[in-house]
Amino acid sequence: MILMVVSDDHGRDTFEQAYADAVKRYGTVDALFHAGDTGRYDNEYYTSICGCQAYIVKGNNDFNANPQELTVDVGGKKIFLTHGHRYGVYTGVERLYFAGLERNADIIIYGHTHIPLHQSGDKLEIINPGSVAGIRSNTKSYAIIDIQGDITKTTFHYL
C-alpha cells in the first residue's frame, strides 16, 4: 500500500506536481495524508487530483472544517495525523510521541516545521514530510510510506 504524505502547501500550486511525481515513481497512490496548512484549497481539490481516500487535518493557518487531528487504520497500521503546532514540535517531538503512544499509533504524521523528518523506534515511527511548497526551507518535499504487511518503508522525495 502506497501512502503519500504532504503538508504545508499554503495554497501554492505544488501538490499537483508532487502527485504526478509520486505516480511516476510508484504507479499509484492508495491514500493521501495531508498534515495541514492547505491554505486556499479544500478537501475536494486533493481528492479530485488523486482520486483516492484523503485524510486531511487543519493546520494553524487553516480556516476550514477539518479536524485538528485524526487517528485512522490504514494498511494494517494505526496512523495518528496532526499538524503538530499544538504539540510544540519546533522544540522537539517528545509531546507528539507520547500523544501517539496514548492513541496506540504505529505511525505519527505531522507538519508545521516545514522540515522533513523520519524517526523510527521500537514503538512507532514519526514522519514529517516537510513543505510541499518549499516555504521557509526552499525545499519542496513529500514523503511516501510503503506498507507491505508488517514492514513500512518511508522515502522522501524532492521536487
pLDDT at site 33: 98
Could you tell me the CA-to-CA distances from 141 to 14, 106, 129, 150, 151 in Å, in that order? 10, 22, 6, 26, 23
Ordered DSSP codes for 32-95: EEE-S--TT--HHHHHHHH-SEEEE---TT--SS--SEEEEEETTEEEEEE-SGGGTGGG-SHH
Q: pLDDT of the chain along its 159 residues, tens only? A: 999 999 999 988 899 999 999 999 999 999 999 999 998 889 999 999 999 999 999 999 999 999 999 999 999 999 999 999 999 999 999 999 999 999 999 999 999 999 999 999 888 999 999 999 998 888 999 999 999 999 999 999 999
β-bridge partners, 142:
157
Closest CA to 126 of 91, 70, 84: 84
For residues 110 and 35, the answer to whether their CB atoms sit within 8 Å is: yes
Q: Give the helix/strand (H/E) hosting 123.
A: none
pLDDT at site 39: 87
Spell out the residues 6+ positions from residue 24 whose beta carbon is closer than 8 angstroms to its own.
Answer: none
pLDDT at site 74: 97
